[in-house]
A and B are shown apart, each in its own frame.
Chain A
């Protein structure tokens, strides 16, 4: 009696220990993500996370919608200062230097254990990796990546007597077609603009399309020097300014990023440049046939890449870091990347994703989905330096000054470069 009681107690203790062990084995990850394009993004992300948890019962992921890209960075950096840090988060690829300078993230190589892991990291489009590497290390994993593409309204092209299947291929064509597409009423007020390139919030990104097409890089690879006052940069800005101020085929002043798709839907503008991340949004809301094309070339074709990478944070346990790797590998696996790309319009991050059945069927049914991928070979890294926000603001201010006519393009870029020099000097 006494003995069996003891034995039972012992068994109970073992059982208790086992179940406690099982509970400990479940690793919890906090995952912050931003939303930067239209559509039910939070629902899509939560759905993917739920699928992941089903496939990996040992890992629990708390997905937290953290606002816009800059809100997410703010929340993460505040959390680091306050102590309650997420283990993994999607943040702009360009915030890499900021996160490194804050000593917040770990290089992805430090997480890799097996050959399979290494093969995975080598599987992304090189265009996306430009913004994910510095100093010989990889700091971010491409996830919601995009480039800028050109959307055009085929009806408007027809009305203007243009071939609706032939978007402008060069800057010169952009100007000549834009002139035909700009419609004025009898009082001379414009009712439809030829082309619209948004310039609120982050004009530097759209501008970088122009500079890339003009064959000039805005910064060096170490992120310590900018070339804002390069003559080719000034030339690119002059072109943008001329579109609105001289040729009058582009709306004047600062054009809002957020309302640009709406302007397009409302037929206020015939051609717009915006992220490929808006593709699904445009497909759902444009009441007319539209086309998607690579942006026109000047000296070359080109677009900056954009969008967000996964980062893994230093303040996490080895188990959490291992779980983060499993999570990122799953989220960027060909099937999931394809699913994500189809649901949003973001460019699936690896060639393998475009080889999946789902993606092949989607591209066949909706060829514009492949435009961003095809443009990737011409894409360069998005502007990113140390003190990124500040250095970028210097350029943004200069661009807006030139676009609103407060400064000439040359003067604006000279001032922006001087400001960037001042900020970046300590990093060389």
Chain B
């Protein structure tokens, strides 16, 4: 055996080398193929995501160029200004409240709706469609509809509360209610979207589990708590990541409904960035604020994946 194999492994003998060379070439071209396939995505990501992020980071250490005056390096000045900027802190606080107010509520509502339309009820298709409609509508259109709902006196909300004897209320024009009103729009808009994911996940759960649980005599709540909900955890994580990103990313309705007012009561971080960069034309300070937003989002995403990933049950 070894004698027979020996000639084949002798250095310099032709056949094995001939066999090895194509293998190496194949490996080489596969490498190139791989990179070529990645190239379009990599170029797009690099040009429109990573390069701008780095450029923004660099710009945050410069002053804003104005007319004849070019930008000059100012070190940490922009960051110092930011720490002393009460509107920045207000927008952070608002954003935190906004996230806390919208994320758990929209996820809970999504789950509830998904459980309901997953059951065998009449008109299920229509109901699913109805729940999903808010997601399909463009945010600007939605915001304009809600603007009418909130109009004092003859808006829909006031017309309903009037039936119960309440007077006109200026929902968007009062500091205490404006942000809450925006939260409602967001929950209404997001819940249907998240429902779709839950619905898909629910349909993946094998019915035998329910049958087995029924035989064991477990109640519906117990079954949900011990079987359904844990099996939905990957979806919940996905939805949570999306919800948090959206809480910092959606400001269309702020533009339409309140423009950050009254007195910054609905000022969210991203809207403030827009104002600073494209209304005040202080692009350097806008870049500084953007860095904060990037950090927050990166931190949240990282934390979620590192922490929750270990606790989520994947099948």
Contacts and interface: CB of A to CB of B under 8 A. Distances in A.
Contacts of B151: 256, 259
A404 B87 CA distance: 17
Contacts of A100: 67
Given A102-B281, A266-B154, A406 B263 contact: yes
- Tell me which of A189, A404, A406 has the highest count of chain B C-beta atoms within 10 A of its own C-beta: A404
A268 B281 contact: no
Contacts of A404: 173-175, 262-263, 265
A36 interface: no
Given A259-B151, A268-B153, A400 B263 contact: yes
A86 interface: no
A319 interface: no
A74 B261 contact: no
B174 A102 contact: no
A252 interface: yes
A254 interface: yes
Interface stretch (B106-114, B164-172, B185-193, B212-220): B164-172
Nearest to B165: A187
A70 interface: yes
B234 interface: no
B253 interface: no
Given A101-B67, A189-B168, A254 B281 contact: no
A293 B14 CA distance: 105
A311 to B, nearest CB: 15
B173 A200 contact: yes
A188 interface: yes
A401 B263 contact: yes
Given A254-B173, A406-B263, A189 B167 contact: yes
A103 B67 contact: yes
Interface string A378-405: 0000000001011001001110110110
Contacts of B167: 187-190
- Tell me which of B264, B279, B282 has the highest count of chain A C-beta atoms within 10 A of its own C-beta: B279
Interface string B270-288: 0000010011111000000
A286 interface: no
Contacts of B170: 251-255
Given A102-B67, A189-B167, A259-B151, A389 B261 contact: no
B68 interface: yes
A255 B262 CA distance: 10
Contacts of B172: 254, 256
A390 B259 contact: no
Given A98-B281, A187-B167, A190-B168, A255 B263 contact: no
A25 to B, nearest CB: 33
- Tell me which of B87, B165, B261, B282 has the highest count of chain A C-beta atoms within 10 A of its own C-beta: B261
Contact of A406 (B154, B162, B173, B175): B175
A389 B174 contact: no
B168 to A, nearest CB: 7
A112 interface: no
Interface in B245-268: 258-259, 261-265
Interface in A61-84: 70, 74, 77-78
A263 B63 CA distance: 45
B230 interface: no
Nearest to B150: A256
Contacts of B162: 189
Contacts of B80: none
A231 interface: no
B152 interface: yes
Contacts of A201: 259, 261
A187 B264 CA distance: 33
- Tell me which of B162, B166, B168 has the highest count of chain A C-beta atoms within 10 A of its own C-beta: B168
A266 B168 CA distance: 14
Nearest to B283: A81
Contact of B173 (A104, A256, A389): A256
Contacts of B120: none
B278 A200 contact: no
B66 interface: yes
A268 B170 CA distance: 13
Contacts of A77: 281
A387 B64 CA distance: 13
Contacts of B275: 393
Nearest to B68: A103
A193 to B, nearest CB: 9
Nearest to A200: B261
Contact of A70 (B68, B261, B279): B279
A253 B154 contact: no
Contacts of B66: 101-102
Interface in B10-24: none
A32 B68 CA distance: 24
Contacts of A401: 262-263
28 contacts: A70-B279, A78-B278, A102-B67, A102-B281, A103-B67, A187-B167, A189-B162, A189-B168, A199-B262, A200-B258, A200-B259, A200-B261, A201-B259, A251-B170, A253-B170, A253-B173, A254-B174, A255-B170, A255-B173, A263-B153, A268-B153, A387-B280, A390-B280, A390-B282, A400-B261, A400-B263, A401-B263, A404-B175
Given A189-B167, A256-B151, A256-B172, 18 more contacts: A77-B281, A98-B281, A103-B67, A187-B167, A189-B168, A199-B262, A200-B258, A251-B152, A251-B168, A252-B170, A253-B152, A253-B173, A254-B261, A266-B154, A390-B280, A393-B280, A404-B174, A404-B263
